[in-house]
Structure 1
Amino acid sequence: MPPPTVDPWLASRRFGVVIDAGSSGSRLQIYSWKDPRAIQATEDAQVLSSLPTVEKGTREGDSWVAKVEPGLSSFADGPSGVAAYLAPLLEHARTQVPPSLQPETPLFLLATAGMRLLQPMQQAELLQETCIFLKRHSHFRIEDRSPAGPCGSSVRIITGEEEGLFGWIAVNYLMDGFKGSDEELTTYGFLDMGGASTQIAFEPSRQEREKSHDLMDVRLRLLGGQEIHHKVFVTTWLGYGTNQARERYVGKAISEYEANRDPPFGPEKEIADPCLPKQLSLTEYPVQPPASSSHSKKPHTLVGTGSFEQCLQQTAPLLNKDAPCAELPCPFNGVHVPTIDFSVSHFIGVSEYWYSSEHVFGLGGPYDVVQYERAASEFCSRDWSDILDEHQRSRQNGTLGGDGELLANGTVVSTGHWGDDVETSRLQMQCFKAAWIVNILHEGIGLPRIVDVGGNVTTEGEAVAQKAKDKGLGRPQFQSMDSVGDIAISWTLGKMVLEASKEVPPLSDSTPPIVDPIDDIPNTAHPTIKPIRPPFLDFDAIEDQISGHLPSSLTRHSLGFSPVGFIFYLFTVILFITTIYRLRHRIRSTVRRCARRKDRDYIALNYSMEEGHAFSSGLSTPSRPPSPPRTIFHFINPFRRASSFGSRNPHPASIVITSPVLRSGQSSPTHVSPHRSPLFTPSDFPSGVPGSPHFYTASLVSNGSVASLTSRSRNSSRMDLTSFATKQTIPRTSTAMM
């Protein structure tokens, strides 16, 4: 029987699994790479000077990706549904990664925009349910609990800045941006735009790096063990994604219309909107209107006029370039960004930059502002009915093209070629999104407008890039991309490149391990990025859940403080006072015992002197009898009693024991607490004369009160104490002395 053959592709292969828990769905992606230790033993120096090669987690096909809908954040009110939601993704990962490699395969679930919008307590509950499910139903490598979360860094919510950093790593990994000497800065900048926010991440010039204090340290390890370091600036503009920018635009348009309406209370008319194609009519609900009047909060009808130039002008104020700036320069909305040298820093845009360029205009790739604006102007000026008809025909034909036009050698040969992936909502908002992207690029971050008179006559991005090269402009300053080869540009890829880099053995044992950039932030008062850590108790979040059941006068907005927090602290104080009250007798007894210790020693000394038993070394304080050892239960008992709250009798019956003989045939009862043994027993008493220090100390303890002893006369005390001893013949010398 021939020996089993080893699959060359699986030999020394490592895997990594990451789940991107977005707002609309969760996408699982499986990546793989060769074990760096195996490569170090076989490859040449050229390979060792590069990063590990991260590939798809399957040899062929698209089974390295799986997706479920809706987003994880949709289970905020029912965390118990997380298990059934994630089960298909986890099962898919188990079928693709060999079982023998699963214990050493890291699995991450990193949540983004949707989870960031939840209340902290909702975030904590979802992360806890997710962690429990992944740990109990898989053998993948998942971290233990840490300050980062219930499963450490394996299950957590990442910030927009972290997305930008991981995206920056992915872009430069795919574009060979990490190759080259430190003197030749070749890294690409990264731009990402979604519906809610937009991010930028880039490595400033050497001069700017020396002046900047808010840069992130990105460390990666090459296959040879050498480390590369890059100082990267990253920031996020919340509310500057295409969807939220549109909401602000609609609110501003409605407010301006209401402010200028004549007469003020006349019938409402349609509002002209240059950012919609001609004759497109939409009823818009102002999500973010200024509180100028009640009319501005009602839905209004906007009708498109299809003017891209006017749309550019009316959306530019939304950048809020006049906002206060704490540290110059601030491109827009008062957010500081180091000066960008576009002759050195070249940017790649993903997500909305790609969709708004390629899906309708067919202009994805190297960016030419003249060609882009011309395509946008032609699209916006078309009648909506014509656009809609062509969209229907393109769905039937299933063909692809540019902005509804099929070009051959620069000539339009057919129309109606939008693909199936272009939705009607995309066509409705295309004019606005195109204008918003142009303003972000040029009026926002300051990308120069390189004007080519007449523009380009081709929509092929590579032709545009070649033309720029022919003119000596070098590589494009900006280009939109979706993938390189068969690998999509995604922040998840950047995360896996970082994980593969962590597995490369360092050149020295003293070299610190590679960590995520957010874990390399110095512990300062104002960190560059604040990681998202749902708190254990969040009173505002708890109150938000019950605010609907509270009168308006009891909300934190009316009171000026959180009533839930006040109740919590009040309960804590009441619990503390109750505990002290239950322990009051024990505390008072302890204080008295400490205060009377010196009195007992003094009285014992007086009786010793009275009986004629002075110490040979002069008058000195007799030593106390050794205290019995105290166990931990001696200190716990009072708290156990305090926590009983009436479950037991607080004053249990005393136990009666017999004291030493007073007279022949007589004994005296002594009451001792049932919770502890008496301090001394008859066997502890010395059999010597009544003047013994041990004898008198035991008598004081059994009597239970110093005051009762001192209230007697000295003669009667002497008689009682003398008769308290066992029967012995008292020497005459002692009697004579008395």
Structure 2
Amino acid sequence: MQMRLLRAVGWSLAAVLAVLGVAVFLLVLTLKKDAALPTRNKYGLVFDAGSTHTALYIYRWPADKENGTGIVSQVEACTVSGPGISSYADKPAEAGASLKPCLDKAMKIVPAEQQRATPTYLGATAGMRLLREQNSTKAEQVLAEVAKAIGQYPVDFRGARILTGNEEGSFGWITVNYLLETLIKCSFTGKWTHPPAEVVVGALDLGGASTQITFLPGTTIDDSSTKALLRLYGTNYSIYTHSYLCYGEKQALKMLMASLHQDSQTPQQISHPCYPKGYQENVSTADLYDSPCVHAPSTPSPAQNLTVTGTGDPTACGTAIEKLFNFSCGANRTCGFNGVYQPPVRGQFFAFSGLYHSLHFLNLTGGQSLSLVNATIGQFCTSSWEKVQKEFPTMNRTHLRDTCAASTYALALLLQGYKFNHKTWLNIHFVRQVANVDVGWTLGYMLNLTNMIPSETPQRVVGLQRSNWIVATVLLAIMLILIFGLLTVICCQKNSGYESL
């Protein structure tokens, strides 16, 4: 009887272990099958409604890795034809209509079954901030029309709004550090690690109507209006950020022209030292003083046409551009320009948008020394209009005319404005893309609004890790050994029972 009871218990244990072994085996097969399935993607759309143009960015990421890092890719960047939406202040319906070709393109890229779940945003920057200052009613009408146009498409539209300057700077900083994986990295084993603060990079952005500087300073930020507090992946960041309205490239060159006009000895003639020698054009005073960034003379003359003549003088060009800034700082205070507080620049910086484009044309975005950059710009600025047209026959006429002014302005902004020097100049990396994604505020904006960057460190990486496979295999092997051992014992006991009989 006792022997029979032992055999029954043994068979029961063997059966239980066998069931557990089969369960583990099926689990491993299921996970393997799931891992082999094609990854389902999600999409996001963000319109960057800048002062000079609008662009639609289409992003994609694996649906099972929303809180990962370095996984969002850019599928497409569609440039909207025509000027920025702020230019449609008097015909707002056309602002909405201008977006439709890019939206049509997006609908061909995003699978139809996923379109209604695709988050879609429109963020407007300094051009619309200026329009709101001039006429808030017209600004609201433009936003309403672009929202109406986007709302006609089967997407999860989450609104059109005007970003503040500090938001624009902060989101650009998030974008570049997210793409560089300097906020958090994931090891092969699935463990999250925080890189040291020293590897976090600053962001330098130059648009058409504003410019932003954002970085992690080595000191306490004394002015709360220039501080942004972010909690990303379980780490707190106190970043310095400031946006200078009217100091984007287009508005700065407009201010330069107005300043030259007001300093001119001949009211109807403007000698422009930043334009190539021999270049000539006519401009109206109405166009010259149509921006809130440009201060009209105290005694305005009646509307008239002005003749602008290029003189190709790099020294005079630099002097005229520096007059646009006020470099004096208050006592016991460090500042950038115009009296705005700024701690000393620290660490590596990524410069993009207009800063990249103004120097890339002259092949100066490859880490060249500041002395070489100065020499190259100076040489170009002394070229005649006839010469540069022959050297760059396919280049847009306006862009070619403005190259000297734009590159000289970029240098003045970085060196005199933001206080970089010969040594820290080498810490600036001029880029258009990082990891095949255009650098700007749009990605950071989408990551923030979709909560794809959690405030706390992720606990695990979604998906089957190598360690899981090892544990499952070991458990399965142990169970099989136990089953084999139990069966052997039972057989031995059975044989010994026969012998005793």
Give the TM-score taking structure 1 as reference length.
0.50
Q: Quote the Cα distance in structure 1 between the aligned partners of 2:455 and 2:429.
A: 36
Structure 1 counterpart of 2:178, one-letter code: Y
Which residue is 2:264 aligned to? Answer: 257
Q: 2:86 aligns with which of 73, 97, 100?
A: 73
Tell me if 1:424 matches 2:397.
Answer: yes
Q: Deviations over 1:527-570 (max 9, x none)?
A: xxxxxxxxxxxxxxxxxxxxxxxxxxxxxxxxxxxxxxxxxxxx
Q: Quote the Cα distance in structure 2 between the aligned partners of 1:317 and 1:29.
A: 37
1:477 shift after superposition: 1.3
SS at 1:108's partner residue? strand
Q: Quote the Cα distance in structure 2 between the aligned partners of 1:499 and 1:294.
A: 47
Which residue is 1:375 aligned to? Answer: 376
Q: 1:190 aligns with which of 180, 203, 218?
A: 203
1:164 shift after superposition: 1.5
Which residue is 1:163 aligned to? Answer: 168
Which residue is 1:349 aligned to? Answer: 351
Q: 2:314 aligns with which of 300, 308, 312?
A: 308
SS at 1:237's partner residue? strand
More helix by share: 2
Which residue is 1:419 aligned to? Answer: none
Bigger relative contact order, structure 1 or 2, given CA contacts below 8 A and separation 6+? Answer: 2
Change (3 A) 1:100 1:369: same
Q: 2:241 aligns with which of 220, 234, 242?
A: 234
Q: Quote the Cα distance in structure 1 between the aligned partners of 2:455 and 2:215.
A: 28
Tell me if 1:55 matches 2:73.
Answer: yes
CA contact 2:59–2:73 (8 Å) conserved in 1: yes
Which residue is 1:481 aligned to? Answer: 431
Q: Quote the Cα distance in structure 2 between the aligned partners of 1:201 and 1:490.
A: 12
Q: Quote the Cα distance in structure 1 between the aligned partners of 2:99 and 2:321.
A: 41
Q: Quote the Cα distance in structure 1 between the aligned partners of 2:375 and 2:458.
A: 57
Q: 2:230 aligns with which of 208, 218, 239?
A: 218
Q: Deviations over 1:584-627 (max 9, x none)?
A: xxxxxxxxxxxxxxxxxxxxxxxxxxxxxxxxxxxxxxxxxxxx
CA contact 2:232–2:454 (8 Å) conserved in 1: no
CA contact 1:220–1:498 (8 Å) conserved in 2: no
CA contact 2:53–2:85 (8 Å) conserved in 1: yes
CA contact 1:276–1:304 (8 Å) conserved in 2: yes
Q: Quote the Cα distance in structure 2 between the aligned partners of 1:501 and 1:481.
A: 26
Change (3 A) 1:340 1:79: same
SS at 2:264's partner residue? helix
Q: Quote the Cα distance in structure 1 between the aligned partners of 2:391 and 2:143.
A: 46
1:52 shift after superposition: 5.0
Structure 1 counterpart of 2:156, one-letter code: R
Which residue is 2:250 aligned to? Answer: 243
Structure 2 counterpart of 1:429, one-letter code: D
Which residue is 2:367 aligned to? Answer: 366
Q: Quote the Cα distance in structure 2 between the aligned partners of 1:381 and 1:6.
A: 65
Change (3 A) 1:34 1:220: farther
CA contact 2:223–2:341 (8 Å) conserved in 1: no
Structure 2 counterpart of 1:350, one-letter code: F
Which residue is 1:208 aligned to? Answer: 220
Which residue is 2:49 aligned to? Answer: 21
Change (3 A) 1:173 1:9: farther
Q: Quote the Cα distance in structure 2 between the aligned partners of 1:443 and 1:10.
A: 53
Q: 2:113 aligns with which of 100, 113, 120?
A: 100
1:13 shift after superposition: 2.0
SS at 1:335's partner residue? coil
Change (3 A) 1:6 1:65: farther
CA contact 2:216–2:238 (8 Å) conserved in 1: yes
1:357 shift after superposition: 0.7
Which residue is 1:141 aligned to? Answer: 156
Structure 1 counterpart of 2:57, one-letter code: Q
Tell me if 1:127 matches 2:126.
Answer: no
Q: Quote the Cα distance in structure 2 between the aligned partners of 1:434 and 1:88.
A: 33
Change (3 A) 1:79 1:297: closer
CA contact 1:255–1:296 (8 Å) conserved in 2: no
Q: Deviations over 1:685-735 (max 9, x none)?
A: xxxxxxxxxxxxxxxxxxxxxxxxxxxxxxxxxxxxxxxxxxxxxxxxxxx
Give the TM-score taking structure 2 as reference length.
0.71
Aligned-residue RMSD, C-alpha: 3.5
More strand by share: 2
Q: Which has the larger displacement, 195-204 or 181-190?
A: 181-190
SS at 2:156's partner residue? coil
Q: Deviations over 1:328-376 (max 9, x none)?
A: 3222112222x1243xx222211221111111x1112325211111111
SS at 2:256's partner residue? helix
Equivalent pairs: percent with the same residue? Answer: 27
CA contact 2:356–2:365 (8 Å) conserved in 1: yes
Q: Quote the Cα distance in structure 1 between the aligned partners of 2:216 and 2:453.
A: 25
CA contact 1:357–1:364 (8 Å) conserved in 2: yes
CA contact 2:208–2:249 (8 Å) conserved in 1: yes
Q: Which has the larger radius of gyration?
A: 1
Q: Quote the Cα distance in structure 1 between the aligned partners of 2:390 and 2:341.
A: 46
Q: Quote the Cα distance in structure 1 between the aligned partners of 2:91 and 2:385.
A: 42
Q: Quote the Cα distance in structure 1 between the aligned partners of 2:242 and 2:122.
A: 23
Change (3 A) 1:7 1:103: farther
Q: Deviations over 1:293-349 (max 9, x none)?
A: 556975443433322123222321211224x75993222112222x1243xx22221
Give the paired residue count: 408
Change (3 A) 1:367 1:120: farther
CA contact 2:70–2:178 (8 Å) conserved in 1: no
Q: Quote the Cα distance in structure 2 between the aligned partners of 1:9 and 1:494.
A: 30
